Amino acid sequence: MYQYQNKNSITKIILFVFMIIFALSACNPKPKETAALKFAVLPVLDSLPIYVAEQEGYFKKHNLDVEIIPVGSGPERDQLLAADQVDGVINEVLTTIMNNRDTEKIQIVRFARAATKDHALFSILASQKSGITTVDQLKGVEIGISEGTVIAYLTDRLLQKEGFLPEDIVTVAVPKIPDRLALISNGELSAGTMPEPVSSLLVLQGATVVLADSKYPELSHSAISFRSKFISSNPDAVRNFLAAIEEAVTAINSNPSKYERTLLDSNILPAVLQGKFEVPPFVTASVPSEAQFQDVLLWAQEKGMLTTDVAYDRCVNASFLP
């Protein structure tokens, strides 16, 4: 009898130990798998939070392995996107609309940057050799742009706000930012629309800011976008990506000068601007409004780029914002 009771007690102890082990393992689940994605960035200030999220470990914190792919122009970025060689990009409303004109291929999930009255995203600058110092002097003058991008839209809309008629606005396609920079610097191009910090570099070289989007900030913004197929198959990765970006934006806005070295190392800030360029505040979690979207859509239709409407909901998805 005693022997039976002893065996029964041992069995109970073993069962109890197994229950403890099971409970502990339930409290300590296996680490979540890391999601890999490729993200294309242009050499513009809008890309800074991507680099900061990588540098500060925010992507890793949110179980992401992000490969940052630098591109030289909007068309190069769009080619990679069309070939499914990248999952996400920094782009804008116009290219999103054009990608989605037939079927949904890409969605904006967050602003990348947005102009304010104190800080411009883009400026129309005149070469020092052009002699142009006022907006009216731009009438009939070739302005270098990247066609089919926010730069084309902004150049038209900014000048229209200043009273220009369609026939007053003349643009020439120079897709790559370094090419546009060189042509304006040496005077081969009288004017061009440029992003920061390239605009600041041109000013340092003697160019004149003739008109900046800070005068009409509601017109100007860039976006973080992902392929729709990637969003559908990796919703948590998109959500985690935006959480990491939000942490990066908070870090930049709290101490912008800390990331000057990051701007230099990522070829966003030219070395000659070191110590001379003020990093502006970045927009917090939000997306373009329907009114902003509709104005870009109207412009594309006016230019003959589109003959049909494209729905706002097809192009903009705010559901992943933290």
Domain residue ranges in the chain: 39-115+220-315, 122-218
CATH superfamily for 39-115+220-315 is Periplasmic binding protein-like II (3.40.190.10)
Match domain 122-218 to its CATH number in 3.30.1360.20, 3.40.50.300, 3.40.720.10, 3.40.190.10.
3.40.190.10
| More confident of the two residues 13 and 111 | 111
Cα distances from 191 to residues 123, 150, 207, in angstroms, run 10, 17, 9
Helix residue ranges per DSSP H, the chain: 2-27, 48-55, 58-61, 74-82, 93-99, 150-161, 177-185, 198-204, 228-233, 235-254, 260-265, 290-302, 312-315
d(CA 89, CA 81): 8
pLDDT digits (tens, 9 = 90+) for 131-145: 999 999 999 999 999
pLDDT digits (tens, 9 = 90+) for 154-204: 999 999 999 999 999 999 999 988 999 999 999 999 999 999 999 999 999
Which pLDDT band holds residue 149 (cuts at 50, 70, 90)? confident
Which pLDDT band holds residue 72 (cuts at 50, 70, 90)? confident
Q: CB of 89 within 8 A of CB of 37? A: no
Q: Which amino acid is at 162?
A: E
Q: Residue 74's pLDDT is what? A: 84
pLDDT at residue 220 tops 60: yes
Which pLDDT band holds residue 17 (cuts at 50, 70, 90)? very low
Mean pLDDT of the residues in the chain: 92
Residue 277 is classified by DSSP as: -
Q: Residue 95's pLDDT is what? A: 93
Average pLDDT over residues 273-294: 96
Average pLDDT over residues 253-270: 96
Which pLDDT band holds residue 102 (cuts at 50, 70, 90)? very high
Q: Residue 27's pLDDT is what? A: 56
Q: CB of 294 within 8 A of CB of 93? A: no
